[in-house]
């Protein structure tokens, strides 16, 4: 359980953190670990945790790297956080619609991620005002979600896939998600926080998609891995995939390597030193085009 909160010791964030603390026994019974994170400094997080007697860790993401990778960081307006906090007492007396403006000025969105042991995001909960909803919905999801044990996972892995069985959808988000809406699961999350592939793929290595009719992937419609498979129909290089889909280069190399290991992609060896002059020029053009797109 990883929950983002905008500002340590603020009223709404205090309610959110304390509710996760109060449901400690319930989460422990489900085998769930709770971790809070914000862009506050380590000292502020330590003071917040000690003041409210939190029994779970609070992480400091001062530079906003983790928030950016999870897609919860706001834009340039986050720089106005200090002025907003200074006027927070005055704004409480104003109309409630001011809350929407205050939320847009905070550094990160209030989002909770329920993450499985294999680093798969099972549920995303987003609510700016009703802070207690995060712990309640996360606990309710865990109670209703049939998480198989290690033995059951072992048995399921050795069984052949059932034909015609669709992927369970469930209540993934608090609000219905449109098909064109980008996924909150960033490539960094899908790559399990890894930035380099085991095979050390060359940036100029051509990648082509293979036929997947025998074992079609069971990903969500907006999964970045599906975008990579579609883009590889043109046999681009690893660098062109990262540039064309606006993906981090390290995560792209890992995802391509992982998809190749699963049989969805084929990575051909890059051209050797015996290339002709025209082939070298074409390679340089593609490299420059990819760098400009980055």
Name the active-site residue from 8, 12, 13, 267: 13
Q: What is the 3-state secondary structure (H, E, C) of 176-190?
A: CCCCCCCCCCCHHHH
Assigned token pair, 11? 């009223």
Catalytic annotation present for 13: yes
Which of 136, 116, 119, 132 is CA-nearest to residue 191? 119
Which of 248, 234, 274, 127 is CA-nearest to residue 193? 248
Encode burial over 136-150: b for 16+ CB neighbours within 10 A, e otherwise. Answer: ebbbebbeeeeeeee
d(CA 2, CA 124): 10
Count the neighbouring beta carbons within 10 Å of the beta carbon of residue 193. Answer: 12
Contact, 294 vs 238, CB < 8 A?
Answer: no
Assigned token pair, 129? 């005002």
Which of 27, 87, 98 is CA-nearest to residue 56? 27
Between the alpha carbon of residue 271 and those of residues 49, 124, 199, 231, 268, the distances in Å are: 55, 43, 17, 21, 9
Q: Active-site residue numbers?
A: 13
């Amino acid at each position: 359980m990883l929950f983002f909160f905008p500002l340590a010791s603020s009223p709404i964030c205090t309610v959110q953190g304390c509710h996760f603390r109060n449901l400690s026994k319930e989460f422990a019974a489900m085998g769930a670990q709770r971790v809070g994170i914000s862009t506050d400094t380590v000292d502020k997080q330590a003071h917040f945790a000690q003041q409210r007697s939190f029994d779970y860790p609070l992480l400091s993401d001062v530079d906003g790297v983790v928030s950016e990778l999870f897609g919860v960081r706001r834009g340039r307006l986050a720089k106005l956080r200090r002025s907003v906090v200074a006027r927070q007492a005055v704004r409480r007396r104003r109309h409630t619609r001011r809350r929407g403006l205050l939320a847009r000025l905070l550094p990160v969105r209030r989002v909770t991620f329920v993450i499985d042991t294999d680093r798969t995001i099972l549920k995303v909960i987003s609510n700016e005002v009703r802070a207690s909803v995060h712990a309640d919905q996360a606990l309710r999801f865990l109670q209703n979600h049939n998480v198989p044990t290690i033995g059951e996972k072992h048995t399921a892995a050795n069984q052949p896939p059932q034909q015609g069985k669709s992927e369970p959808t469930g209540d993934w988000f608090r609000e219905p998600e449109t098909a064109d809406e980008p996924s909150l699961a960033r490539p960094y999350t899908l790559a399990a926080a890894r930035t380099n592939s085991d095979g050390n793929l060359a940036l100029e290595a051509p990648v082509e998609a293979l036929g997947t009719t025998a074992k079609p992937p069971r990903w969500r419609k907006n999964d970045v891995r599906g975008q990579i498979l579609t883009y590889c129909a043109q046999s681009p290089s690893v660098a062109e995939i990262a540039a064309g889909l606006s993906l981090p280069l390290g995560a792209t190399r890992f995802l391509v390597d992982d998809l190749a290991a699963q049989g969805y992609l084929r990575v051909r060896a890059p051209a050797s030193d015996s290339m002709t002059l025209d082939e070298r020029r074409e390679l340089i053009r593609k490299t420059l085009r990819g760098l400009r797109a980055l």
